[in-house]
Amino acid sequence: MKYNQKLNQAILTSNSLLCIGMDPDFNKLPMHLMESPDPILTFCKDIIESTKDVAAAYKFNIAFFESLGEMGWQTLRELLTLIPPHVLSIADAKVGDIGNSSEKYAETFFDEYQFDCVTVAPYMGFDSIEPFIRREDKGIFLLALTSNPGSADFQRLKLENGKYLYQEVIDKAVSWNKNDNIGLVTGATQAPDLKAIRQQAGEMPFLVPGIGAQGGDLEATIRNSVNRQSRGALINVGRDIIYSSSEENYKRIVNQKATEYFDKINKFRFTLSV
């Protein structure tokens, strides 16, 4: 199955745009999990179990797993087996290196760990992303206009042609998207720009971080991000869901929080004309 078909199937089957951000921080786990032989694994399993009925995708922040050494990679491998078959798996690794290095990153995340897609930095140009987009059944989300405060340092630099650098990235992404497997990372904290980015990018899918802990406006994000079918965007929520409770009943609270986001997202995307 081609990547874009897989992405659309994930959204349609789950009736969801919600992407759960998996950023497991040992220092933020419920205290009772410290009695577990592997607190990170137990916590992440519980998060997946509590949210899988409302999630279209899971975004695994690779830094949080590789910081644990060999155990982190083993944990990641086990967690990927728990994701329902119709739900998308995203490696948030922000890779992007010279061609032969990107080949190895693609092999790591697509072949060894069987992720559906990976986040990629565009700074080194086409040869750094080509190994990822060559595979029609796999996809990437290319960093365009991100949600962090420092995004303006480079992404909003004005070029000689009058465009911002992030706008040039989007134009390049559109021209490179021959296999229909490139998407864009567009931050929810950049809500005023999302409508123009959608117009520029056409039907290209968005991965939208910045909701919840980073303070992005959910309604404005939905209204400015989705495509003409009220799809085409994965709304990532991490900390506001996975750390919504530190009590022993945290799984129930996590489920409630994820369901609240699921309901709000669908309310906004299905009332766009109202």
Catalytic-labelled residue, pool 45, 52, 94, 172: 94
Condensed to tens digits (0 to 9), the pLDDT of residues 176-185 reads: 999 999 999 9
User: Could you tell me if 271 and 219 are in contact, meaning their C-beta atoms sit under 8 angstroms apart?
Assistant: no
**Is the pTM higher than 0.85?**
yes
Condensed to tens digits (0 to 9), the pLDDT of residues 17-75 reads: 999 999 999 999 999 999 888 999 999 999 999 999 999 999 999 999 999 999 999 99
Reply yes or no on whether 94 is catalytic: yes
pLDDT score recorded for residue 272: 65
Condensed to tens digits (0 to 9), the pLDDT of residues 244-254 reads: 999 999 999 99
Q: Does 273 score more than 50 pLDDT? A: no
Lowest mean pLDDT among 24-38, 80-94, 202-216, 222-236: 202-216
- Range among 194-203, 211-220, 265-274 rated most confident: 194-203
Token readout for 263 is: 């309901």
Q: Does 238 score more than 80 pLDDT? A: yes
Average pLDDT over residues 175-201: 94
**Domain count within the chain:** 1
What would you report as the CA-atom Rg of the chain, rounded to the nearest whole angstrom? 18
What confidence tier does 218 reach under pLDDT thresholds 50, 70, 90?
very high
Please report where in the chains the tokens 């939905």 appear, as a residue. Answer: 222
User: Could you tell me if 160 and 29 are in contact, meaning their C-beta atoms sit under 8 angstroms apart?
Assistant: no
pLDDT, greater one: 213 or 103: 103
Task: Name the average pLDDT for the chain.
Answer: 94
pLDDT score recorded for residue 99: 87
Q: Does 96 score more than 90 pLDDT? A: yes
Q: Does 84 score more than 90 pLDDT? A: yes
CATH of the domain at 217: 3.20.20.70
Average pLDDT over residues 75-94: 97
Give the other-Cβ count within 10 Å of 60's Cβ.
26
Condensed to tens digits (0 to 9), the pLDDT of residues 101-131 reads: 999 999 999 999 999 999 999 999 999 999 9
pLDDT score recorded for residue 274: 40
pLDDT score recorded for residue 237: 96
User: Could you tell me if 41 and 60 are in contact, meaning their C-beta atoms sit under 8 angstroms apart?
Assistant: no
What confidence tier does 137 reach under pLDDT thresholds 50, 70, 90?
very high
User: Residue 229 burial by CB count (10 A; 0-12/13-18/19+): exposed, middle or buried?
Assistant: exposed
Look at residue 274 and tell me if it is in a domain. Answer: no
Q: Which domain holds residue 255?
A: 3-269
Q: Does 149 score more than 90 pLDDT? A: no
Considering only CA atoms, which of 63, 60, 55 is closest in space to residue 115?
Answer: 60
